[in-house]
Each structure stands twice: as C-alpha cells, then as structure tokens.
Amino acid sequence: MSATQLSREEYTPALTDLSEEEELFRASVREFAEGEVRPRVESMEHASKLDPDLIKQCFELGLMAIESPEEYGGAGSTIFNAILAIEELARVDASVSVFVDVHNTLCTNAFMRWGSDEIKKKYLPQMASGRVGAYALSEAGSGSDAFALKTKAADMGDHWELNGQKLWITNGNEAEIFIVFANINFEAGYRGITAFIVEKGFEGFTVGKKEDKLGIRASSTTELIMENCKVPKENVLGEVGKGYKVSIETLNEGRIGIAAQMLGIAQGAYECALKYTAEREQFGQSIQSFQAVQFQLAEMAVEIEAARLVTYNAARLKDAGKPFLKEAAIAKLYTSRVAEKVSSKAIELYGGYGYVKDYPVEKFWRDSKIGAIYEGTSNMQLQTIAKIITSK
C-alpha cells in the first residue's frame, strides 16, 4: 500500500509535522522574533544587555509562561510549544532564546513539579506576569560535579540562613526569583542538598559581577552572593534534603530546551549562508551554482534535519509522559555539535566577510559554543547515554 493510500487513521505523522495550533504558535513567535528581536540584536550585543522593552514584550506575549497552568496565568501548553519558541528565538538571537528557555524549562517547571500549592499560588502568577526566574546550582568548584556545592543553609528556627556564592547564573541581572541550592548537612553528602526560593530583595542576597563572555553576550551570566541571607521557612522547594532530585529532574527537561536553542542557532546560520551564497558572485556566477558549495549546503541541511528530529523526539516523549532521559541527552549533545559545525561552515562560505562583525554568521558561531558546556557538558551527556545503554 502506498503512502497516498493510507487512511487518516493509519497515517503516523513525522516528528517534524506540527498540528495547526503548533504551526500558528511557531508563526507568531517567528513574527515576534523577526519584527521585535532582530532590529535589537546588534544594539543588545554591543551593550551586553537585553532590551528591557523586549523583556516586557516576552511577558505580554505569554512566552514566559508557556507550560504554566492557566489558573496561574499561563498558557497551560506543552514543552513542545516551549521548544518551538526557544528554537525560533535562537534562529534570530540566542541570548533572548536562553532568557526565555531558563525561565520556562528550569524555573517554571521546577515550581510546577515541586512546589506546594501555596508556593505555586504565590510564585507562578508572578513569573507569568513580570518577574523573571533564575536557577542557581553551579559554583566555582562545582560544575559537572554539581553536588560538590559549598553553599550552606542553616536552620535558624523561624527562618533559613544561606551563606555561599553561586557562579554562571543565567538571567542573574534580570531575575527577581531564584531557585538556590544549598546544603543543610554536609555530613549527609548530596542528601543534605535542598532547593530554596530566594527573592532578589531578601536580606543578605546580592547579585555580583556579570561575566564578559564569548557568546550569548546580551544574556546576563552573573555570580550570586549570600551573606547570612534570610529565607522564610516555607520557601523550600520540594522536601528538605531532596534538592538533588529537584536539580537532576529539572535539568533533564532543561536539556531539551538547550537542544532547541542550538537547533535555532544552526538554522539561523544556515539560512544566512543559503542567502549569501545565492547573492555572492565569483567567476561571473553566484557561488551557490558551484557543486562544491551546493554539497556543503546540503550537508548543513542534513545535519539540521537530524538535529530537529532528535530534539522534537525528546520533547514529544516528555509531553507523552514517557522516559526521555537518554533522548534529552542525545538531543543536547548532538545539536550542540551541529550548531557549532554549521555556524563554522557558514563563516567559511562567507569567506573574509564571515570573519568580521559586520556580518551575522560569526555571532552564530560564538553563540553556539556554550551548547557543549552549560546544563551538562558534552562529556556528561555521553556519560548519561552510556550508563543507560549499557545497563540493559
């Protein structure tokens, strides 16, 4: 039976097939990215800061509460729609993309899964309407070994007191609500780790310096300093001593978001290369007419399509309530490689123009490099995949 003879019920759509609702959502985000984000990319890159008006628009358009339940002011949608938004934004600017990504896939989802009813009622409406979230796990001495964190939490009777320093915190300057991981009992090892909700205005809490980065320069990456920081007793996210579960399971979903960001970067670089090679003339014809260039563009297209499939697959599995840990690790690992490879090839296709900041492709390459580092390095993704496939 040919594909054209299959009935509607017998036809299984490809992972890249979108429902009408998903298509409309993608189109609306692309319109926003092209109309509002693109004109600001260069100025934000030079200022190393997100445009405050753009942040406001992200909230007004509902991009900061995609999965948050409707009762808390969100869209009550899926992680699949969240990654569509992240992908489309990264196609234009990776900094805006990761701003939206961290708020949704790490912060909002952690509140949704681990927050008490009281915590959800208090914070989710705020995070849907105007208060930015950040996720504070990393420290100077705890990166891949996240549970080696040294930030300490002490039970003071009527409140918790936090002391320590966090590093590499995305959205650090914009955020007002932070999920901070600290250890209440170092003798218990990782079983002492607890997740706390810290607001920017809490006594003893300070946002430190902003890092001067290679890429995603408009995204703020900062240190956080806690000196006898007072946190209300009720501001524990999940259970005391179970912060390790909060961190692991939240990051598993967050990796799909990073995969979508890398996918968007690759797509944006590819589209630039496709357009430029059609316009650039050498030897009396466009360089796109040469088979050597055509083959390079074809290779880029193949890599991007494969990256899209593994990313969408991980998101579809998550939405279906099926195991997705291996698939999320594969997606993040592979898309980070594709983003770097495709953006690098785009620079080469631009020739000397690709190496200067007057043209867009060098930025895509700089933005791509972080994909192999944050929310779990490539080596950590390989370790995760290896453990799963060898444990059967």
Cβ-in-10-Å burial (0-12, 13-18, 19+) of 216 comes to buried
Question: Please, which residues have CB within 8 angstroms of residue 161's CB and are 6 or more apart in sequence?
Answer: 153, 154, 204, 228, 229, 230, 231
Q: Which of 67, 303, 340, 375 is catalytic?
A: 375
Enclosing H/E stretch for 319: helix 291-319
User: Amino acid letter at 378?
Assistant: S
Q: Which whole-number Å values give the CA distances from 182 to 122, 142, 225, 252, in the listed order?
A: 22, 12, 12, 20
Question: Please, which residues have CB within 8 angstroms of residue 282's CB and are 6 or more apart in sequence?
Answer: none
Phi first, then psi: give them for residue 321, nearest 5 degrees: 75, 20
- Annotated active-site residue 211? The verdict is no
Enclosing H/E stretch for 223: strand 221-232
Contact 128, 72 (CB under 8 A): yes
Question: Please, which residues have CB within 8 angstroms of residue 5's CB and are 6 or more apart in sequence?
Answer: none
Residue 164 CA to residue 387 CA, distance in Å, equals 32
Residue 316 CA to residue 322 CA, distance in Å, equals 9
Question: Please, which residues have CB within 8 angstroms of residue 298's CB and are 6 or more apart in sequence?
Answer: none
Question: Please, which residues have CB within 8 angstroms of residue 257's CB and are 6 or more apart in sequence?
Answer: 82, 83, 86, 101, 102, 104, 105, 106, 375
**What is the set of active-site residues?**
375
